């Protein structure tokens, strides 16, 4: 009996129903269900994670349904906007890599440097036709030069 109840909750979640609504429909609290997930009864953690992922996809599909409804003009646009925003928000929180707004701009590439490495500590040869001071090292002009 309890296994069947858990399966119905997971199935409802996979269809886009919230956990609270699915639990309410089965006559249990969401905390009752989450305690079982935490204890991993019946291998519930992986099944719950899979149901949450399916829920996010179902919510993304709901966005398309809501947009179709809006095109028919039979429902108040403000109501549709709230439903649309809620579905998008929930999907982005459940599966942020797939439905989130954050754009990943990291670059994963190898950079090859061609050419020579210059030794900046080596003596710099003078330009053609110029002599160096007595120690053979180039010098910067002083304050009186």
Query: For residue 47, what pLDDT is reported?
Result: 93
The tens digit of pLDDT for each residue in 25-83 reads: 999 999 999 999 999 887 899 999 999 999 999 988 888 888 888 878 778 888 888 98
**Mean pLDDT lowest for which of 6-10, 54-58, 124-128, 139-143?**
139-143
Place of tokens 């996809």: 57
How far apart are alpha carbons 18 and 22 in whole angstroms?
6
Domain extent listing, the chain: 2-99
How far apart are alpha carbons 122 and 134 in whole angstroms?
17
The tens digit of pLDDT for each residue in 83-138 reads: 888 888 888 888 888 888 776 677 776 666 565 565 666 666 666 666 656 655 55
| Domain 2-99, architecture per CATH | Orthogonal Bundle (1.10)
pTM score, two decimals?
0.60
How far apart are alpha carbons 59 and 12 in whole angstroms?
12
């Amino acid at each position: 009996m309890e296994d069947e109840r858990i399966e119905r909750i997971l199935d409802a979640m996979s269809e886009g129903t919230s956990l609270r609504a699915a639990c309410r429909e089965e006559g249990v609290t969401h905390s009752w269900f989450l305690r079982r997930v935490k204890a991993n009864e019946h291998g519930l953690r992986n099944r719950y994670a899979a149901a949450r992922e399916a829920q996010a996809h179902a919510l993304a599909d709901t966005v398309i349904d809501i947009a179709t409804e809006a095109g028919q003009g039979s429902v108040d646009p403000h109501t549709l906007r709230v439903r649309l925003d809620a579905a998008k928000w929930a999907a982005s929180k459940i599966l942020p890599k797939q439905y989130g707004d954050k754009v990943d701009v990291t670059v994963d590439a190898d950079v090859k440097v061609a050419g020579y490495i210059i030794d900046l500590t080596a003596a710099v040869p003078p330009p053609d036709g110029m002599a160096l001071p007595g120690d053979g090292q180039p010098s910067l002009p002083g304050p009186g030069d």
